[in-house]
């Protein structure tokens, strides 16, 4: 059964690759994307890949930092307002019901983790393969992301 799935995946991959090669030979493709529209690792030098990764990583890290601050402020402010409302008597919290719901959610999460493992493994394998193929861009992105978070 596993071999059959592997064969089907390879067949689909071959068809997709054939389709991309066919598209690259078309005039509209070349006008739109240029003749060298393959993977990044084939088009640019290592220095260019690191620069592209670094700039995009810095932008992502900077935005992540700013959005994270806003989100943390909103969540913290909301919790503070709820606590003030609870202390002044506007809200009555049924802590037994909260505890019951939390325990129920824990049980559901334990059941769900067993089912999600194959999907997570597939995602990790694909991510690892991407990082290996694009090590220059990935390295630049990680460095830029960390610098963006720090700035």
Domains of the chain, residue spans: 2-33+46-150
Q: How far apart are CA 39 and CA 33, in angstroms?
A: 12
* Contact yes or no for 37/132 (Cβ under 8 A): no
Residue 132 has a pLDDT of 81
pLDDT score at 92: 85
pLDDT tens-digit readout, 16-73: 555 556 655 666 555 555 555 455 556 677 788 888 889 999 999 999 999 999 999 9
65-95 residue pLDDT tens = 999 999 999 999 999 998 898 888 888 888 8
Q: Are 29 and 115 in contact (CB under 8 A)?
A: no
100 and 10 Cβ atoms separated by less than 8 Å: no
Of residues 72 and 128, more confidence is placed in: 72
Q: Residue 102's pLDDT band (boundaries 50, 70, 90)?
A: very high
Q: How many CB atoms within 10 Å of residue 146?
A: 13
- Residue bearing tokens 């992105």: 141
- Per-residue pLDDT tens for 103-117? 998 988 887 666 666
Confidence (pLDDT) at 111: 76
């Amino acid at each position: 059964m596993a071999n059959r799935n592997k064969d089907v995946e390879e067949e689909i991959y071959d068809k997709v690759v054939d389709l991309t090669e066919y598209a690259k030979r078309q005039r509209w493709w070349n006008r739109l994307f240029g003749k060298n529209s393959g993977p990044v690792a084939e088009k640019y030098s290592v220095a260019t890949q690191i620069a592209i990764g670094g700039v995009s990583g810095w932008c992502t890290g900077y935005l992540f930092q700013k959005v994270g601050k806003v989100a943390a402020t909103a969540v913290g402010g909301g919790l503070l307002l709820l606590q003030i409302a609870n202390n002044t008597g506007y809200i009555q919290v049924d802590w037994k019901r909260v505890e019951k719901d939390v325990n129920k959610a824990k049980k559901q999460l334990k059941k769900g983790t067993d089912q999600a493992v194959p999907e997570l493994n597939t995602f990790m394998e694909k991510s690892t393969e991407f990082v290996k193929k694009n090590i220059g861009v990935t390295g630049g992105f990680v460095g830029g992301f960390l610098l963006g978070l720090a700035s």
